[in-house]
Structure formats: structure tokens, C-alpha cells
Structure 1
Amino acid sequence: MTLIGIALLTFHVVSPATAEPWSPALYGFCMQTHDAKQRSLPEQAQMLRELGFDGIAYSQWLNANLESYLRVVDEARLNVYMLEASVNINPAEPPYPPDFVAAIRRLKGRSVTVSVTLRGFPPGDPRGEEPATKILRELGDVAAEYGQRISIYHHTGDWTESLPYALSIVKKVNHPQVGVNFNLCHWLMVDGEQDYRNLLRQHADKIFAVTINGAQIGSKAWTDGLIQPLDRGDFDNRQLLATLREISYRGPIGLMCYGIPGDAREHLARSMQVWKSWELAWAKEDPHEAGQTISERAATFQLRARPFPLSDVRLLDGPFKAGQEIAVDYLLRFEPDRLLANFRKEAGLPAKAEHYGGWESQGVSGHSTGHYLSACAIAYATTGDARFLDRANTMVTELAACQDALGTGYVAAIPDGKRVFAEVAAGNIRSSGFDLNGCWVPNYTLHKLLAGLRDAYRLCGNAQALAVSRKLADWYEETFQNLTDEQMQQVLAAEHGGINEVFADLNADTRDPRYLALSRKFHHRAILEPLAQGQDILPGKHANTQIPKLIGLARRFELAGDDRDRAAAEFFWERVVHHHSYVTGGHCDYEHFGEPDKLNDRLSPFTTETCNVYNMLKLTAHLFGWKPEADVADFYERALLNHIRATQHPDGRVIYNLSLKPGHHKEYLPVDSFTCCGGTGFENHVKYGEAIYFHNDDELWVNLFIASEVQWRERQVTLRQETGWPLAESSTLTWRGQTPQEVTLHVRCPHWATRGMSVSINGEAFPCQTRPSSYVDIRRTWQDGDQVELSFPMSLRTESMPDNPRRIAVFHGPLLLAARLGPVDDPNAARPDFVPVLVTESRPVDEWVKPMQLASREFATQGVGRPRDVTLLPFYSLHDQRYTVYLDVFTQSQWTAREAELRAEQERERELNARTIDTLRIGEMQPERDHRLTGERTTAGEHLGRKWRHATDGGWFAFDMAVVPDEANALLCTYWGSEVGPRAFDIVVDGHKIADQTLANDAPGRFFDVVYAIPRELTRGKSTVTVRLQGHPGNFAGGLFGCRTLKAAPDKSP
């Protein structure tokens, strides 16, 4: 059988709230060589038009004759929905004909899908994956340039004959212009025993084309079996089309005609008659929604998968329950009255206790109160501990009293907050990234408070919390009602958290449309509109300022059905997860996004802010509800296990930035710091049960292998999961329920399960194909006591930096392993060889990493570490130690050269230390004070783990340095070799210019030193001199990364 083609779609995923009746176009597919009348192309096109078809699909057109073919179809006023080609993925042969790309170019301006069959290897042969991925990405780029799409045809006998396998290749390709066809006859021939519905639901955005036909289930014959007119066969096409409608498929439908005997006009007419009857039925089923607003249609939106209430999931013994218990004890150390003290102060009431310090004594006072209220509500829901219910209720009562005392609906602990919002209401707006009218992010702070009140209402049943929220939201509405959109955008230039989310949630809780309108008012167009259009504008942006806005859009989409909100949230998630994230699942350095896929040079003590991961997990849960895909759950697992779980000390303290700098260590927050990540840290470790399970009416997803028990109250069922994961490689699910129930259980086969996953039910093997990052779907009638045994062997593997394949991280299954290097105060930490490198000679990881204590997943490198081997253990379990999660891989020759460099560097450092008179650690507060640093237009920062300082726009900075009087002295300054821009400045000592320095990409990619001789007359009789870096007009001075004064080298002038 020869492939003839499939349809292009002008495709987009539309929420079920979309107003248009569902009536896809129908076109003739795969018919031109199997018409008994042997009609010419113009005759076939005219026939299809007369019978009511919208288009046609053909193969063998991507050549020099393309334009003449297209003219024929255009004259018949048909659409060309597909053009087909065969692609050879075997590197031994050219992938496609030379005129293939030129033909695609000639399609510019037409909506055409190029359907490709992939040949050159047997079905499913893994040798094809690397070349296929490369070729498909190249074709995707070509298609994107000319407005087309590339769709993999899962043709029987070809390399991707199985549709699930084709989808796995699409996932690897990870290109927006590359998807798959769903071809019914080939599905039935190859994959027909599986349930296609869940596959379509899980991959809705990658189903680029669909073909149907009448078919006899179980047949292995093409003609009169799997390919028949629509009025024959027992396959339920109505169910297939209903599923396509459910997933909001808006592309055309192809009618497969291959090999049907007789006159094509006769069997096409019969199929069209059936199709028209279906169209009539769809028209009757659809309400006349054209005049409805998005809000009125929103009730039709249903999550594909819903999380269980937190109170219905209980953790069982294991590492996650241990972490939860630590968090419970930690939360109980804090005093609600101290968290409420500044609320009472701002309300004019006497405080009942002294307020806390840290950020709670600064401009964001009250943000921790909101987080703590959320944490208490969550802890009550997840543990049932009544102490947290009492705390939550007490706090709500106190907040209500403060609100009543103020009398306006406003309630906050923000210093001078009433003045700030009065100015804003009057249109006097002064805003920047973290400042609104001289106040540190007041809307961000009130978002935290409103979120805490929401959680107290929803999780603790506290109706007063909802009342306080409504009064505060009403105050917001009044305060901002007279601002123009331009003024609102000025307000939103300052970080405002997820204020749009809590107003959307308040709309859901009250059904009051005013709060949905308020959510829309807080729509930051400068960020959200480009994201909705698919533009990655993240580089340089403060990361956690953005994520909550997208969570707000996700929630608003669920309530209001605006596809732009969904598009922005999905695009943002994809960019962050696949292009901005480290192996932990965290992202950002110094709190900011960098360039996509450029992470190698962004490893510092300030990588991966924990607030960001907290928020990304919230966004991930929303996206999973829309499209329950294993890729989404895989990310949730990665970030929860390797970042969130890794940020909790056994004593309860948490981490702001989880350092990924090689040789650094985890820096835990002081208990009284009350930073943003201290606030999210209150919540992180009491809500591990949040995304273990999802469900809908008759499906249940097992996403995470965390020992736990879930109550499915609607079905009066309990599912218990007993496992030692992540330190064990199996899990047992036990079904408990009094009545038999038919349910589909979806068990995630994780991305790291490269050896497959085995499933048995009540001791008998369950036949299934398991692929990494997919689901095993088990549809059966479940009985009380049924057990599902899961086995997921873990193996060692590596993941590399996207921009440096020789910088790797080592995993065992889901566990990120860190190299333990020594205690935090290790005196060797400053040595250039403190972090070993690996000389593996490209051997597989399991040949040079061996288990030491398998029960605790402790491993060690063997014979490959230079200058030493290291112990590797789960990153989440490592505390109070220096470590690295990224290791550099060298060849032996590279190591030999590096070893010589290290010896030379050590000798140079020894000589410099012997000659050093004084050292200034620039950019550090105390050393700069000790050296009496002053300046104008000067700022400091950090790059590659080294502090710097510069002055801008002709500015300067100066500092004192010790010298040896009456001897030859020198000044050594360290600079970064990739500096660009106007950086010309003078080096001045005690008012005398000793050098003119310009930095202009002098030593790309590395630091370098410049030594300046200090004339003897400038040090005569002095023990200190003042060094000044003075920028030329319009220029930077610096950046300076370090400074020393030196004695002259022996027998050398300085």
C-alpha cells in the first residue's frame, strides 16, 4: 500500500467555551489512483466539488509540477489540505529529493500540511531517533518560515507505524510546527487494541490532521475491512468525532478512500450522505452561543483532570511524610500575634506582641502573614491537626478586627500603605520594578494576604475569611476605578504578584462578576501580550515577578475561557521548563531569566530562587488539568524532588536561592529573616500531596510515587499507595471500595524509566507497552482489594547543559545526585582544583559510577575523578556540605593540559600572596567599608561567582589601599575579559593619574589581571594611598573584580 497523504489544518486548540458550532471541513483523501473510472485530476477535483467536499489531499506533488497541479485545484475552488512526501531517516541516504524544500517554499500563503512518512529503519528501531529528530527540526524550521506544518504519518510498515511512538518522536523534536496525523485505518491495524481517546486528549495540540472511514474492528484486510465508506463497518466514527470535538479540534477531516472498489463517485456520495446527517445532528446539539460573552460560556469549560482536595490525600511513612512532619513542627514555632502586630499598628490598635524582624519590619510587612495563614490552612487540610485550624481562625478574626477599625475595607501591615494607595487613586503614580510611590511592592504584599484568606475560607471553612476578602476587593475596586488603562499599566510596572489570580478565585467563590473584571484590570500587557503571541521576552526579566501573573491567567482561563490567557500560560510554561531550567527543575540566576538554552555560564550562589519553583508547580498543576500529559507530570516530579524537597533543612529552615555554583553549599535562611522564599517555604513542605493524584468522573491518574492514600469520595473508594520511592523501585496500589466500579487508572511511566515499567494486577502480568514519559492505561471493573504492582527499575544516567555537552549532572532514576566535596568551612574550598573534573573517555556512566550504599542511593566515581574521586548522593538529602551537581568531563589530554594550568595557577597565586600588601574584596560590604570606599553613580554585582563594582556615565569610585613606604609598589586590578561598551577610565592614585585603561573584549570568556606601577614619589612616607577609577565622560569605570597592592617582584621592577 502506498501512502497518498493527509490534511493540513489551520489548527489551534480552542477551549470548550468557544462559541462556533462544531462543523469541520471534509475532504477526499488517498483516492486518485483507485477510481474505477480513472478520472483525470481536473475531473476528480470537479467531482469532489459537486459532491460537497471542501478539499483534496494528494501525494507526489512536491516537485517542479506543483504549480500546475495547484492551478487545477484552485479552478475547482477546492482547498489543498495536504501534500505528502517520503523522508528517509537512514543517514546513508539523502533524506528527501532536492526539490522538496523548494516546493514547500512555493506553498507560501497557503495553509497546507506536509505529511511525511519516515522510512529507512524497521518500525520503532531506536537507531532512527537521532537522525529523525534532526531532520524533523530542520523541516519544522522550513515549514515555519513559509507558514506550513510538518505532520508525521503513522503508516503501517514505516518506522513510526505506531502512533504513540510517533508522538514520542514529536516530543523529542519539540518544535511547534511538527505534529502527527491520526489515521484511523492505520491506527486500527497497528494500535487498535488501545483506547485512542486518551491519546487524543493528552496530545490535543499535536494532532495536526485526522482521517476517518468506515471500518470493521479486528479486520486485518484493507479493502472491505479497515477502509470502507462511512455507511459500512462497525467502528463508531461518531465516538471518534465526539472526542475530537471534546479536545476542541478545529482542523479538517479527511475521508480515506484508498482501494475502495467501484466508481469513486458512488462511494463518495454515500459517505457524504452520512457526513451530512452528522452535521445536522451537531447543529441541533450546539446551543446558539454566538451572542454570548466569554463569561456566559465559561460554565461549559471542564478540566480534563481535576486535583483531589488536599484533605482527601494523606501521606504515609516515607521521606515526604518526614519532611511534612518537620514542616509542621517548624510552623508551630511562630507566633500569630507577632505576625499580626503591624496589622494592628496600621489599624490604630495596640499590638499584642512585638512584630518580627527581617522583611516583616520593612515595606513588605504582612506578606509572611499571608503565607503563614495559607500554610496553616494547608497543614490543617493535609494533616487534620486542629492546632492549625485554631491558628487560622484566630488570624482571620484579628484581620477582621483590623479591617473594621479602619472602616474602608482596606487591611494591611504595609508601612505608609494608606498614603500610597490614596496617591495612586488620585492618579499620582510613580512606579518602577519593585517600588510603587515609594513603597516596596504593596500589591504583591496584598496578593499574599488575599491568598491566605482564600485558603482559610476554602480549606478551613472560615466564612469570615471570605467576608474580609470581599471587603478588601471592594476597596480595591473603588481605589482603582477611575484609573485609565495607561495609568493601570504604570501601576503594574511594579511587581504585583498574582493579584489577578486571587480576584479570579474570588469570582469563583462568590459568582460576582465584578471580581473577574478586577482580575482583568490587573493585566500587565507589556509582559502578557507578547507571551500570548508566542514571543519569548523573558531574557533579562525578573523571573518571579512574571510567574504569578501567568498563574492568574491560567485561573482566569478556567473561569472565563479566553484562549489568549491559555496561550500565554502554556507558552510561558514551555519556555521556562524546556529552555530556561536547570536539572533541578529550578530556573534563574540572580533572580533573573537569561537567554534561552544558555545556562552553562550562569552558575552562582544565587541560582534557582525557591519562590519561582513554588509558583511553577502551581502553574504546572493548572496545565495538567487541561492536558494530562506525562511530560507535565515529569516536570512536577523533577522540581518537587530535586528542588523543593532539597530546600528543607532537618531543623526546618528553608532556602532562598538553591545554589548550583560548583563547590558552593546550601545557604539556609535565618528563622527571623521572613523573606519571600521564607514565606513560600512555610507552604512548600505541607502540601506534598497536592499533585500525586488527579481524576475526573471515571478516570484516575497516579502521577507521583509518593507513599499516600487518597479518598475518592464521589465513588466511595480509597486508593492506597505503598512505596519507598524515591529510594525504592516499586509501588503497590490497593483499591478499596464496597461496590465494583469501572474506572480507567492512568499510571505514569516516568521519563527516567528507560528500562521500562512492569505492571501486574493481583499477581498476574498486565500486558502493556511502556514508554518513558507516557501513561499505562488500565480500564477494568475494580473490586475491593485489587492490587496493582508497579516496578520501575532505576538506572544511572546523565543530563548535560543545553549549551555545553561536556558539563553534566548524574541521576539515578529521578534522583539528582550531588558530589559531596567537604564541610562548608573546608579550608581547601578556594583552591582551583577543589571541584574535581571527570576523565571518562566517553564511557557509559554505569562503568565509572558504582553503588556504595544502595539503600540510601549513595554512589561513588571510580578512577575518573581528577584530582580525586567523589561520593555522589541524592541532592535532596545533602545538608551542611559543599557540593556540585554539575561536573565537567575532560579527555585525558584535556586534563593533562588543565593539570599544568592548575600547577601554574597555584604557583602564580603563591607568588602573588607572597608579594601582596593589601587585598580589597570588591563588592562586599565589610571589606569596602574597611577600605573607605566612596563613589558616584556606582553599583556592585556578581558574575560567575565573583563580585564586581563599576561606575556609570562618567562616574567614579575610590578606596584606600595599604602600601609599603619608600619602596616600589604596584597595583593589580582584575577585569572580565568579555566586557563591551564604552569602558574607558583613568587609574588615579592620590590624585595623580598613573594609567589609562580601556576594556574592550580583551580576553573573551575569562578574567585577566593588569598590573600598574605606582611611582615611588606617590608612596614616599605613606602607609596608604587612595585609588580612584574615574570614568571618561559617558563611559563606565570598571567593572573591577578585585584589587591588590603588591611589592615589586624580586629582581624586577613592578
Structure 2
Amino acid sequence: MKTSIIVVLISFLCGSPIFSQDKQLDNVFYCFNNGIRTLPNAPKSLADQAALIKKIGFDGLSGHISDDYWARRKALDKAGVGMPEIYWGMTLTDDGQIEYKEEIKEIIKDSKDLNLLVALFLNAKKYMNHKSEGDKIFADGIQALADFAASYHVDVAIYPHANNYSETLAHSVKMAKQINRRNVGVIFNTCHLLKVEGEEGWQEKAKQALPYLFMVSINGADSGETQKMGWDRLIQPLGQGTFDTYELVKFFKDNGYHGKFGLQCYNIKQDCKAALTQSMNTWRTYQKRYAEETSIEPSGATAESFLQAWASGFGKGSVDDMTAFYEDSKDTFVIQSTGRARKGTADIRKEYQSAFEEVVFERVTLGDLTVRQQGDMAWATCRFKALTSHRVTHTKWTLEVYTSFVLKRFDNTWKIVLEQSTPIAGVPRVSPQESVRQ
């Protein structure tokens, strides 16, 4: 990567978002395999199941460890339906060995560049009370699988599940950090979080998981003392139950989540077509509601959510959208981590245009984000980290700087008026990716 490219990229390694008028709930929304495997009156043949998923409007149907993958994939391909995720297991035996069905490697090969996520549930009877030791063994096993999957552009995510080795979101995140691979993340599993941890404080737990989040499973559920509830109350068609699933979806979108949403359907005692149709209709209601709510920024929108939205804008690569985050003024000031300054939105726009022509921003996170607000002014600091891919050489780079902002609210819309980036002591501003993630 040329030095000039690096300088261009470094200048925008932290920022802030606005609610633009084209904000959409456009994430992949697919149906879990149990939606056609456990619901009453589900179609019998794989072809009819794929046709139903297609007709209702889902973006895909997940695979399952109990399925005939090859027959399932063939049926989905014929119907024009994707397989965004496959549910697979990994076991740590009592004698300390990692075991899993090796067929997953052939499945990974077959899924090259098809945006497949391996949702990994973990079992380990002996190590349930010895997790420091168990975590290390699992980390080695998942690292090996992830390294194999990386060359096929397949991701792996830990699936927290009640009564399994990894039951909580926090434990899954801890393991993902220990595994330390770019293509390893976690799943926010709504029904299991409600069952194991309860609903209190889910927002903070979700926020801590965001940098590692590859999928969010959703469904209708009841609110209250959820740890005492049965699955019949914790897993309902979307739109049923008293738990506010829309607010959960909105929370993730407002905080820059662009990943998949999967519909959990386990053991729902309703007609398959009716339950899935209701869930899809509810999702479309969510889409309409989200677009209407975010078309104009509400006066209560926070500077923090503004910054998270800005960060998510890097992935879209729109010069217009990114420039709109700044006050349209000749006095708007950006100081790059190299010390070079850019004054005025015209110069800032040129920098974004140059950056987006050179690289694709694959993932952007704002670490240690701190915001202070007084009236219509706000001050923010963060540690910005971006994973990028060069458009010509296809080399991958990690960019990381410390950035501070001054924000001002104009007519209920936040804008950046000053941005300054500086190097972080002991951390390279730009470094080649080595399939690791801090």
C-alpha cells in the first residue's frame, strides 16, 4: 500500500453518524432450520420447504447438523434461496480432545464466497466447572477450524445456548477474544439470553458484544421473570409476546450493526405457514417503522448514537453520506493523525472520495467511546479501528488511531465541527492484517 493511501485512510479513523433519510432496516433476515423442521404442518419435501421460504419472503434458510446439507443446498439453489448460516456442534471430550463432524469442512469448501456463517454450539460435560482450562482447549479447536474456513471466506460464531458449555453472551465474547481470529465472532441469542440471564441489562451486554457480533437471533417472547419461563413463552412467532423485540432490533441498527438477523422458531405449536407468515409480516412492519422513525432525527437522539451511525457509514462507502456528517462550513476542521489539517467540507469531501476509491472498509469499531454533552454541544473521544481491503492489490490492513470530536446540534441534527486524530502510543497506525482481532 502506498504511503499516500495510508495517509488518506488514517485521517478518518473515528467519527460520527447522522440519521440520514435513506436509513433502512435492510439486514439479511432468514429463517432458522427449525422453522420448517419442528412446526406443525410444515412441507415434507426439501423442495416444498424451500419454495415456502421463498414465497413468504425470507432471505434464506439455515442449514442444520441433522440435515442432508447437499440435498438442502440443492433445493435452496433451485428455489433461489440462500443459506446464510449452518448450525453445527463442537464437543470437548472428557479426555481433553476436540471433536466435531468433519463434514463441516466439505460444507465450508462448498460455501466459498456464499456468506456462510457456522453457528457453533459447544458441549463439554467434564469442563463445565473448569472453564479456564476448557476455554483454552476450545480456543485451539475453534482457531484451527476458523483458519481453515478463512480461505473460503466463511465465518464462525459461538452460539450461546442454555445448559451448553457457553451459556452466556459475555462468556461467548470472552472466548472470541481469546480465539483472536477475524472470522470468529458471537451470536446474540435472544431467547437463550432471556432464559439464562434475564432481560435486565441486555442493552449493555449487547453493546459489549457489538465488535464481535455476527448474527442476532430474534423471535416473539414474553417480558418479566424470563428465567422462570418455559420455551413456549420465550419462543413465539415474531409480533407475539410482551417483550419488545422491535426495540432490540432498533438498538442494534442504531449502533451500526449490519449483520444477519435469524428467526428462531423452535417448538412453536402453530401452523408452519401461518407462524412464518406472521413473523415476516411483523418484520416488514419493523422495516416500515424504522424508516419512518429515522427519516427525521428525533430531538432525543444522543451524540453517542450519532457517532455509532457515522462509523457504520464507512461500510457503505458513500462520499455524500460521510460528508453530510460534518457541518457544511469553511470553518469545519479535521486534523489528521499525521498532523496535516483539512479545513472546510469541500476538502473533507475530497479526502473521503480518495479513501473510498482506494479501499473497502470491511469493519469499523469505536472502542472506549466516551461522550460528554452540554446543551447543543458535545465532546467525544474514541479508539477507532478499521479493517480494510485494498481495491487493487487486495491486501488487508488494520488502521487504528485515537480520535476526538467536537459536535454541535443544528435543528435537532448533530454535526461534526472539529475532528482530530492522533497515534496511539505503542500501536501502529497502519499494519497488515494477520487474521487476528484485538
Check conservation: 1:123, 1:161, Cα contact below 8 A.
no
1:95 to 82, 85, 99: 99
Name the counterpart of 2:339: 499
Normalised by the size of structure 1, how large is the TM-score? 0.29
Alpha-carbon distance, 1:240 to partner: 0.4
The reply to whether residue 74 of structure 1 matches residue 77 of structure 2 is yes
Check conservation: 2:31, 2:262, Cα contact below 8 A.
yes
Deviations 1:93-152 (A, max 9, x none): 442123232221122131110011111132772221111111111111112111110010
Amino acid at match of 2:25: W
Give the distance between the partners of 1:154 and 1:15, measured in 2 at CA: 31
Alpha-carbon distance, 1:248 to partner: 1.7
Alpha-carbon distance, 1:515 to partner: 4.4
Give the distance between the partners of 2:269 and 2:291, measured in 1 at CA: 33
Give the distance between the partners of 2:63 and 2:129, measured in 1 at CA: 24
The reply to whether residue 106 of structure 1 matches residue 110 of structure 2 is yes
Give the distance between the partners of 1:78 and 1:223, measured in 2 at CA: 29
Structure number with greater Rg is: 1
Amino acid at match of 1:86: G
2:86 to 83, 86, 110: 83
Alpha-carbon distance, 1:286 to partner: 4.3
Check conservation: 1:143, 1:149, Cα contact below 8 A.
yes
Amino acid at match of 1:131: I
Deviations 1:421-476 (A, max 9, x none): xxxxxxxxxxxxxxxxxxxxxxxxxxxxxxxxxxxxxxxxxxxxx99x99xx9xxx
Alpha-carbon distance, 1:282 to partner: 2.4
Check conservation: 1:56, 1:80, Cα contact below 8 A.
yes
CA distance 1:280–1:520, change in 2 (3 Å): closer
Deviations 1:523-565 (A, max 9, x none): 799xx9579679xxxxxxxxxxxxxxxxxxxxxxxxxxxxx99
Deviations 1:159-190 (A, max 9, x none): 11111011011011111000011110001011
Amino acid at match of 2:108: I
Deviations 1:759-813 (A, max 9, x none): xxxxxxxxxxxxxxxxxxxxxxxxxxxxxxxxxxxxxxxxxxxxxxxxxxxxxxx
Check conservation: 1:16, 1:247, Cα contact below 8 A.
no
The reply to whether residue 294 of structure 1 matches residue 324 of structure 2 is no
The reply to whether residue 24 of structure 1 matches residue 43 of structure 2 is no
Check conservation: 2:23, 2:295, Cα contact below 8 A.
no
CA distance 1:20–1:565, change in 2 (3 Å): farther
CA distance 1:95–1:287, change in 2 (3 Å): same
Name the counterpart of 1:258: 266
1:141 to 144, 147, 150: 147
Name the counterpart of 1:122: 128
Name the counterpart of 2:39: 35
Deviations 1:58-87 (A, max 9, x none): 31168xx42222011112221111111110
Name the counterpart of 1:165: 171
Name the counterpart of 2:433: none
The reply to whether residue 44 of structure 1 matches residue 52 of structure 2 is no
Alpha-carbon distance, 1:294 to partner: 3.0
Deviations 1:272-308 (A, max 9, x none): 22222222222323449999813543159xxxxxxxx
Check conservation: 1:123, 1:160, Cα contact below 8 A.
no
User: Comparing both chains, which one has the higher relative contact order based on Cα–Cα distances under 8 Å and sequence gaps of 6 or more?
Assistant: 2
Normalised by the size of structure 2, how large is the TM-score? 0.67
1:271 to 279, 297, 301: 279
Q: Secondary structure at the match of 1:79?
A: coil
Give the distance between the partners of 2:158 and 2:165, measured in 1 at CA: 10
Deviations 1:34-57 (A, max 9, x none): 122253222222222222222111
Give the distance between the partners of 2:114 and 2:242, measured in 1 at CA: 36
Check conservation: 1:57, 1:80, Cα contact below 8 A.
yes
Deviations 1:810-852 (A, max 9, x none): xxxxxxxxxxxxxxxxxxxxxxxxxxxxxxxxxxxxxxxxxxx
Alpha-carbon distance, 1:570 to partner: 8.9
Name the counterpart of 1:208: 214
Check conservation: 1:213, 1:228, Cα contact below 8 A.
yes
The reply to whether residue 60 of structure 1 matches residue 81 of structure 2 is no
Amino acid at match of 2:74: R
Q: Residues 317-716 of structure 1: matches in 2 within 5 Å?
A: 498-500=338-340, 502-503=341-342, 507=343, 512-516=344-348, 566-567=386-387, 571-573=398-400, 619-620=401-402
Q: Give RMSD over aligned pairs.
A: 4.0
Alpha-carbon distance, 1:621 to partner: 5.5
CA distance 1:188–1:14, change in 2 (3 Å): farther
CA distance 1:124–1:277, change in 2 (3 Å): farther
Check conservation: 1:162, 1:190, Cα contact below 8 A.
yes
Check conservation: 1:114, 1:151, Cα contact below 8 A.
yes
Name the counterpart of 2:10: none
Check conservation: 2:219, 2:263, Cα contact below 8 A.
yes
Give the distance between the partners of 1:104 and 1:622, measured in 2 at CA: 42
Deviations 1:925-973 (A, max 9, x none): xxxxxxxxxxxxxxxxxxxxxxxxxxxxxxxxxxxxxxxxxxxxxxxxx
Deviations 1:655-683 (A, max 9, x none): xxxxxxxxxxxxxxxxxxxxxxxxxxxxx
Alpha-carbon distance, 1:230 to partner: 1.9
CA distance 1:141–1:255, change in 2 (3 Å): same
Give the distance between the partners of 1:167 and 1:240, measured in 2 at CA: 19
1:156 to 154, 162, 182: 162
Check conservation: 1:532, 1:571, Cα contact below 8 A.
no
Check conservation: 2:186, 2:209, Cα contact below 8 A.
no
Amino acid at match of 1:572: L
Give the distance between the partners of 2:15 and 2:214, measured in 1 at CA: 14
Q: Secondary structure at the match of 1:258?
A: coil
Check conservation: 1:216, 1:225, Cα contact below 8 A.
yes
Q: Residues 999-1038 of structure 1: matches in 2 within 5 Å?
A: none
Name the counterpart of 2:293: 285
Deviations 1:232-280 (A, max 9, x none): 2111111101111112212231111101113111222222222222222
Indicate the percent of aligned positions where both proteins have the same amino acid.
Answer: 22
Name the counterpart of 1:870: none
Unaligned runs of 5+ in 2: 1-13, 297-312, 364-383, 389-395, 408-423, 427-438
Check conservation: 1:87, 1:117, Cα contact below 8 A.
yes
